[in-house]
Amino acid sequence: MAPYSTVIENLTPNPGTDLLRYARTKDGVLSLAQGEGSTPTPDFICDAAMKALKDKGMTFYGPILGHPELREELSTYYKNIYGLDIPSNRFFVTSSGTTAVHLSLAAIINNGDEVIAITPIWKNLLSAVEIAQAKIKQVAVDFSEDKGWSLDLNRLFDACTPATKAIMIVTPSNPTGWTMSRSEMQAVMEFARKRGIWVLADEVYTRTLYGQVRAPSFLDVCEPDDLLLVINSFSKTWAMTGWRLGWIVGPPSAEMKICDLAVYNNMGPPSFTQYGALAALRQGEGFISEQMTLWQSNCDLLMDRMAQFPRMSISRPEAGFYAFFKVEGEEDSIAYCKRLIDEVGLSLAPGCAFGDCGRGFVRLAFACSETKLLDGLDRLERMVT
């Protein structure tokens, strides 16, 4: 008898994680590989969590789907920022956006179901589908250096079969910055509604659309009882990656299903961190604006520099803080990223980690200081020239 489950034994490799480990064995390597900013969590969020610990004694078990006060605040946040009236019982607080994905899949997927994934997509999402023992069918967005990234909706719809249980979409996209339009979301929801297919929408980067307060959301075009689960997180928008706190927005019927799963998963999110989340929602708009100003400046700088690099193909991202680019003649992104580490001391993420269509691409995260970004671009320039 095998000591470990066949699911774990058969998980597809994660070359991005493997290369991160490899880079850490080398001295002097600059990492722009991970999807997080270099700005620490702002003080007003940390202070609120510390006050919850010291003054309120929030060190005990809390409600499984989050403190009622936080669920109410999320409802207020969506009213203020999205213009949507969503009752608090449709918000389920989770210990990380990743946990939100796993709980969502566990709630809707049966062994052998089919999940359509719009790629390129974060490897953890593909692996979450594997762990749920579903079959993955990848539908790639198209790339044009002039027009950017786009999705052929007919190709997406044609990919669905009677076995399709869910469509997984990350918008705005990690790693491309592609953002689905409201009209495209409307078409997807209408199609899914007719077929009885779930839509699992990862909207973690929804506040990172350049020039806009927020990106379109599937919640803009849904009915309350639609088969829609929207994933979000405090990680990127409020610089809280290490806090591991996220949420799901679902139909009212999903509340007890997610609760039943969360009981056996981790008994709910930590109590004191949720007070930091409350502060983020109530006081965080200025910080978000500051982050977006930095990321916009870095994006401009990066696009100007990369335009001067030979053999470089890239399209300006609409949102997020990633450059997803291709270097002519470098089709093996794993080998190329390893050479970047060995030859110029730069750690980036290989595009093949984001699905089949990412082969030959590389992801660079520019949510860092301008000094760090310039250093990274100097190292990359030495490699491409």
Residue 147: the pLDDT is 87
What confidence score (pLDDT) does residue 146 get?
Answer: 84
Give percent of the chain with pLDDT exceeding 90: 98
Task: Kindly state the tokens that stand for 305.
Answer: 């520099």
What is the pLDDT, as a whole number, of residue 95? 96
Average pLDDT across the chain, whole number: 97
- What is the rounded CA–CA span in Å between residue 30 and residue 150? 32
Long-range contacts of 292-297, Cβ-Cβ distance < 8 Å, separation of 24 or more: 292/208, 292/210, 294/39, 294/367, 294/370, 295/208, 295/210, 295/321, 295/366, 295/367, 296/210, 297/370
Q: Is 138 a residue whose pLDDT tops 90?
A: yes
Q: What is the pLDDT of residues 291-334, one digit of tens each?
A: 999 999 999 999 999 999 999 999 999 999 999 999 999 999 99
Q: Is the pLDDT of residue 145 over 90?
A: no
In our burial notation (b when 16+ CB lie closer than 10 A, e otherwise), range 156-171 reads: bbebbeeebbbbbbbb
pLDDT digits (tens, 9 = 90+) for 17-40: 999 999 999 999 999 999 998 899
Q: Which residues of 251-280 are buried (b: 16+ CB within 10 A; e: fewer)?
A: beebbebbeebbeebeebbbbbbbbbbbbb
110-138 burial string, b = 16+ CB within 10 Å, else e?
eeebbbbbbbbbbbbbbbbbbbbebbbbb
Burial of 205 (0-12, 13-18, 19+ CB in 10 A): buried
Query: Residue 40 gets which letter from DSSP?
Result: P
pLDDT in tens, 251-302: 999 999 999 999 999 999 999 999 999 999 999 999 999 999 999 999 999 9
Q: Which residue has the tokens 């193909």?
A: 313
Q: pTM (2 decimals)?
A: 0.96
Radius of gyration of the chain, Cα coordinates, nearest whole angstrom: 21
Local confidence band at 1 (pLDDT 50, 70, 90 cut-offs): confident
Taking the mean position of all CA atoms in its chain, how far away is CA 99? 12
For residue 224, pLDDT over 90 is answered with yes
Q: Which domains are assigned to the chain?
A: 6-41+286-384 (3.90.1150.10), 43-284 (3.40.640.10)
Read off the pLDDT of each residue in 204-232 and give the average, rounded to a whole number: 98
Q: Predicted confidence band at 57 (pLDDT cuts at 50, 70, 90)?
A: very high
Q: Which residues pair with 346 in a beta bridge?
A: 30
Token pair of 253, please?
């019927």
**CB distance 298 to 368 below 8 Å:** yes
**Per-residue pLDDT averaged across 68-92, rounded?**
98
What pLDDT was estimated at residue 2? Answer: 82
